[in-house]
Amino acid sequence: MIDKKNMKILKILQEKARIPNAEVSRQVGLAPSAVLERIRKMENQGIIDGYEVRLNPERFSRKQVAFIEIMPQPDAHIPDLGEKLAAIADILEVHYTAGNDGFLLKVRTTDTETLGEMLQKKITTIDEVLSTRTITVLSTIKETSRITID
């Protein structure tokens, strides 16, 4: 299902998702209709999940990246807590982690001040939250959601 031609199509779309189908077909050497058929099929099969625009965080005052480890209360209902965290604005990722049975969040805020506000007003006020540990990012060398295509 994910043969060489589909891999080639996906690699092209990973670079530049918003290009005409006809352009893709030229690069892979198939008729446009064949490429369209393949892409539609991959969308329906859930291989392709969607298409996103990549915005420059600086231009939207979301320069500050931080990761927050959440230690839940011993009696906390984990799925509930996960949902509550996921619903907070500027929390981009919520992962349930092994080891300490806690959550790891990725957040994007304007600066460390707004990060602090978020912690105090939105996170530590949740009942199920016992404590937190914040890892502030000083600089980002690499940041992509592009997975490796074998």
Q: How far apart are CA 118 and CA 20, in angstroms?
A: 41
**CB contact at 8 A, 93 and 108:** no
Site string for its own copies, 86-105 (x = CB under 8 A): x--xxxxxxxxxxx---xx-
Q: Which is nearer to its own copies, 28 or 48 (CB)?
A: 48
3 counts as binding its own copies under rule CB under 8 A = no
Q: What is the DSSP string of 8-31?
A: HHHHHHHH-SSS-HHHHHHHHTS-
Residues 8-67 touching DNA, rule: CB under 7 A, are 20-23, 25, 29-34, 36-38, 41
114 counts as binding its own copies under rule CB under 8 A = no
Q: How far apart are CA 141 and CA 38, in angstroms?
A: 35
Q: Which residues bind DNA (CB under 7 A)?
A: 1, 5, 20-23, 25, 29-34, 36-38, 41
